[in-house]
Amino acid sequence: MTRHLSPAERLASAEKDLLLENLADQSSWDRYLVEQAAFHYGTRVDEFSANDLRDVLPEMAHGFLGAVINSLRTAGVIEHTGRVVPSTLANTHGHRISVWRLSVKGLVIAEQRRRARRAPTEAAA
């Protein structure tokens, strides 16, 4: 027997579907831009959270932060520090969020990118 959703559950589900639809409508370029910004931020600081990234990214990027952090974690580019901090986003009511750092793989990628940027200028010298 199938369970019927209550009106509140249907409305919540519809709102969630609209939010997911809005995220899907954003171009992959936007998501990759946020991914690059998060990686770059990680090369500049030892540890970071979504709070830190929200402070430096335009508001349109905030919807991508969870997906971006998850994709960087899944790819092994960042790793959890074992620490959590309260979210500074008002509507989360201080929900705990993870603190991240670049993994060894992320540090290797960062070093390769640094070398690649230096190579053309060193070759010209």
Report in angstroms the alpha-carbon separations of 57 from 22, 64, 74, 117: 18, 11, 22, 24
By the 8 A CB rule, do 106 and 39 touch? yes
pLDDT at 62: 63
Give me the pLDDT at residue 8, please.
46
Residue pLDDT tens, the chain, 125 long: 566 654 445 444 544 554 555 555 556 667 777 888 888 899 999 999 999 988 888 776 667 788 888 888 999 999 999 999 999 888 878 799 999 999 999 999 888 888 888 876 666 65
Element (H, E) at 83: strand 78-86
- pLDDT at position 11, please? 43
43, 12 contact by CB (below 8 A): no
HSE (side-chain half, CA atoms, 13 Å) at 27: 3
Helix (H, G, I), strand (E, B) or coil at 58: coil
